[in-house]
């Protein structure tokens, strides 16, 4: 534990950084200070490089001819640090998105947890930042519910998100050595650059190599929300389709079985919503009215209670909004539509888009 803490490294992915001052400042004010902060400037068109270089002790690495988005940028920086002797097997490496701001105790909590057992990666419990109007509000409620679930499961999660995750360097080296053998991807690369969701794929890689993953509540952070419905649709389409394709790459294994089950439930959810809406339209068009059954009223009441209770951390206003069902149903139907599109695109093999 002492060795990991003493040699901890922090790496910050930077593409289009809206608030570099807050992001880097949060890193420099950790209760366990990182030994090194590296900003990976990948095809930046703003003043990210200049702003990052204004911070003392921050190193900026500009990627070279990277066409593989986030995964390619991270691979370049990790390979460079390794070649320069900056990364030791016992080090802890924080990989963080540029639009995330860590709570002060994030790194210390993660490093302490890494020192226990066979944990290969410690992820963050994220909350949404302000902004985005109605669509931003929906995302903040969604993230609050996710954080509540993670807390109730004592940090057990399905994926180490790209918002912020701390890895043992030795674990990442193990992943790189298994690429092209027991794991998909190119030999020697930590991140598989041929996938849409590199963080989800890396999670599967860790688990197939026998490592545990966890996101303790002590590793809190805030992250940017999508500001428009269009941006949100693009983000969630990439997430969903990427997750499906990751599972196809790994096939049916002991690790992926539960993930396949969740995808099946997700598909059934889409079909149920489609059937439900079709039934309502048919009833109104043919019968002229909708008959409400007592059993469905009871189910609806249970659903209302669940919606209200799970967003309690967001305050009375959000609880009141959730109690109406109708308002949040807009968001639920939107996400279901995006999922349906992802299933369709994956089924026909449509062109992948970041």
- The structural domains of the chain, ordered by start, are 2-225 (3.90.550.10), 257-348 (no CATH)
**Is the model's pTM score more than 0.85?**
yes
* 3-class state of residue 12 by DSSP: strand
The span from the CA of 323 to the CA of 309, in Å, is 9
In the predicted structure, residue 182 carries a pLDDT above the cut 90: yes
At 195-228, the pLDDT tens digits run 999 999 999 999 999 999 999 989 999 999 999 9
Q: Are 109 and 218 in contact (CB under 8 A)?
A: yes
**Mean pLDDT, to the nearest integer, of 228-243?**
96
Task: At 325, list the tokens.
Answer: 């069902």
* Conformation bin of residue 213: beta by default, left when phi > 0, alpha when psi is -120 to 50: beta
The span from the CA of 61 to the CA of 184, in Å, is 27
pLDDT at 19: 54
DSSP character for 130?
Answer: S
CB atoms within 10 A of CB 20: 23
pLDDT at 17: 43
Nearest CA-CA partner of 98 in 163, 47, 37: 163
Return the percentage of the chain with pLDDT > 90, whole number.
Answer: 72
In the predicted structure, residue 2 carries a pLDDT above the cut 80: no
pLDDT at 289: 72
In the predicted structure, residue 274 carries a pLDDT above the cut 90: no
Comparing 232-241, 263-272, 334-343, the range with the smallest average pLDDT is 263-272
**Mean pLDDT, to the nearest integer, of 81-100?**
94
């Amino acid at each position: 534990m002492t060795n990991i803490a003493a040699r901890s490294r922090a790496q910050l992915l930077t593409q289009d950084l809206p608030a570099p001052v807050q992001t880097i400042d949060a890193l420099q004010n950790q209760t366990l200070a990182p030994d090194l902060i590296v900003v990976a400037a990948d095809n930046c068109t703003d003043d990210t490089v200049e702003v990052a270089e204004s911070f003392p002790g921050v190193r900026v690495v500009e990627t070279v001819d990277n066409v593989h988005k986030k995964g390619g940028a991270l691979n370049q920086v990790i390979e460079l640090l390794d070649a320069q002797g900056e990364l030791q097997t016992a080090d802890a490496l924080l990989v963080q998105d540029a639009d995330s701001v860590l709570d002060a105790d994030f790194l210390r909590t993660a490093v302490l947890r890494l020192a226990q057992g066979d944990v290969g990666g410690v992820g963050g419990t994220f909350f949404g930042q302000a902004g985005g109007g109605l669509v931003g509000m929906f995302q903040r409620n969604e993230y609050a519910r996710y954080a509540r679930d993670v807390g109730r499961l004592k940090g057990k999660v399905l994926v180490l998100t790209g918002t912020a995750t701390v890895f043992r360097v030795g674990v990442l080296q193990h992943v790189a050595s298994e690429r092209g053998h027991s794991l998909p991807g190119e030999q020697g690369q930590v991140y598989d650059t041929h996938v849409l969701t590199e963080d989800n794929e890396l999670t599967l890689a860790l688990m197939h190599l026998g490592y545990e993953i966890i996101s303790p509540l002590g590793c809190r952070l805030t992250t940017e929300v999508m500001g428009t419905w269009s941006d949100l649709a693009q983000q969630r389409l990439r997430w969903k389709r990427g997750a499906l394709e990751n599972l196809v790459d790994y096939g049916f294994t002991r690790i992926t079985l539960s993930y396949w089950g969740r995808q099946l439930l997700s598909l059934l959810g889409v079909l149920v919503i489609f059937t439900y809406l079709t039934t309502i339209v048919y009833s109104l068009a043919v019968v002229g009215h909708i008959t409400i059954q007592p059993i469905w009223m009871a189910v609806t009441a249970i659903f209302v209670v669940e919606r209200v209770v799970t967003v309690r951390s967001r305050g009375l206003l959000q609880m009141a909004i959730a109690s109406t069902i109708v308002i949040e149903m807009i968001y639920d139907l939107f996400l279901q539509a995006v999922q349906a599109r992802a299933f369709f695109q994956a089924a026909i093999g449509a062109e992948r888009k970041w």
